[in-house]
C-alpha cells in the first residue's frame, strides 16, 4: 500500500516551453501532496504544499507563477514548470500524505528528472 | 524553526559490518522523526518513523533507530550491512502542525565494500 507514482520519469525540453509533471497516489486518497526539488548530491527542498480543492502554499523564494500547482482530485496533483530555463533543470519529487492513515507520514514518488536545454 | 543535522556526509563500511548513521534534530516540541533511503535516480523510501511510545523503532530491511530526547538524536542502525544497502540516507523531522511539512537533513551517502 501507499504507492505514489510520477509521470514522466524524465523529460527534456527546450528553453521557454512548459512542462507538466503528474503525481498520483495509487491506492489511497491524499488531501495533501508536497512538491520537492533536489539538486545533485543535495537534500530535498520543499517547494510547495498542495491541498485538494484549494490553492497551493508556496515556500519562501519559490515563484508561484513559474511553478504552477493544481490538486484537482484526491489522487492527483500536477506541477507545471512554465517558461522553463536551464536553471530549472533538476530532480522533482512529490509526496502524498495518507488521508486515512497517520497524517504525518509522507509517501514519495520516484521522481522526475527535468533537463531544460 | 526545526532543523536536522546529519554530521556524516559519506560513510564506507564493509559488508557484514554494523552501521550507525547519526541524526540530530532541533524542534520545540516532541518531534515526529523519519528515516528515508534513496537509491540513485529514485524517490525516497520510508525506512521507519517515530511518533511516540517505545523509543527503539524497528523498520524495514533490518534497520532500527533509537530516539534519545536528552541528546536530540535519532540514529539509524543496522547490525549487518548488505551490499544492497548502499544508497543515500535522509533523516527528517515532521512539523506536528496541520501541514506536517518535513525538514530533511543533508543526507549521508553509504558505500559498502565487499
SS3 A22: strand
Q: Which of B41, B43, B103 sits opposite A108 (nearest CB)?
A: B43
| pLDDT tens digits, one per residue of B26-76 | 987 778 899 999 998 888 999 999 988 899 999 999 999 999 999 999 999
B56: how many CB neighbours lie within 10 A of its CB?
A: 11
Q: Do B99 and A103 touch (CB under 8 A)?
A: no
Its sign, for the CA torsion B75, B55, A100, B60, is positive
Q: Taking residues B102-107, what's their average pLDDT?
A: 91
Cβ of A81 under 8 Å from any chain B Cβ? Answer: no
Average pLDDT in chain A: 90
Contacts of B90 in chain A (CB under 8 A): 43-44
Residues near A98 by beta carbon (within 8 Å), at least 6 away in sequence:
A2, A25, A28, A29, A30, A105, A107
Which of the two residues, A22 and A28, has the higher pLDDT score? A22
Which of the two residues, B75 and A55, has the higher pLDDT score? B75
Q: Which of A24, A52, A56, A108 to mutate to test the interface with B (most CBs of B within 10 A)?
A: A108
The alpha-carbon gap from A116 to the nearest alpha carbon of chain B, in Å, equals 17
Asked if A7 and A22 touch (Cβ cutoff 8 Å), the reply is yes
Cβ of A46 under 8 Å from any chain B Cβ? Answer: yes
Q: What percent of chain B has pLDDT over 70?
A: 96
Least confident of A78-87, A103-112, B58-67, B103-112: A103-112
Q: Do A111 and B43 touch (CB under 8 A)?
A: yes
In whole angstroms, give the CA distance from residue B35 to residue B23: 9
Contacts of B96 in chain A (CB under 8 A): 104
Position B8 scores a pLDDT of: 95
Q: Which three three-digit cell numbers place residue B20?
A: 550507525
Amino acid at each position: 500500500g501507499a504507492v505514489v507514482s510520477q509521470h514522466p520519469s524524465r523529460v527534456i525540453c527546450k528553453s521557454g516551453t512548459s512542462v507538466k509533471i503528474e503525481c498520483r497516489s495509487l491506492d489511497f486518497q491524499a488531501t495533501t501532496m508536497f512538491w520537492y526539488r533536489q539538486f545533485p548530491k543535495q537534500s530535498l527542498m520543499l517547494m510547495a504544499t498542495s491541498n485538494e480543492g484549494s490553492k497551493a502554499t508556496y515556500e519562501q523564494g519559490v515563484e508561484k507563477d513559474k511553478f504552477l500547482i493544481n490538486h484537482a482530485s484526491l489522487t492527483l496533483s500536477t506541477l507545471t514548470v512554465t517558461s522553463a530555463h536551464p536553471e530549472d533543470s533538476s530532480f522533482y519529487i512529490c509526496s502524498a500524505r495518507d488521508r486515512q492513515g497517520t497524517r504525518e507520514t509522507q509517501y514519495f514518488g520516484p521522481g522526475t528528472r527535468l533537463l531544460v536545454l | 524553526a526545526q532543523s536536522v543535522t546529519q554530521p556524516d556526509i559519506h560513510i564506507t563500511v564493509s559488508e557484514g559490518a554494523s552501521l550507525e548513521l547519526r541524526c540530530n534534530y532541533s524542534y520545540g516540541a516532541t518531534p515526529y522523526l523519519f528515516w528515508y533511503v534513496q537509491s540513485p535516480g529514485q524517490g525516497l523510501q520510508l525506512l521507519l518513523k517515530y511518533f511516540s511510545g517505545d523509543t527503539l523503532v524497528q523498520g524495514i530491511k533490518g534497520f532500527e533507530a533509537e530516539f534519545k530526547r536528552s541528546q536530540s538524536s535519532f540514529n539509524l542502525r543496522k547490525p549487518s550491512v548488505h551490499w544492497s544497502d548502499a544508497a543515500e540516507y535522509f533523516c527528517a523531522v515532521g512539523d506536528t502542525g496541520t501541514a506536517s511539512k518535513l525538514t530533511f537533513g543533508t543526507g549521508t551517502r553509504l558505500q559498502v565494500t565487499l
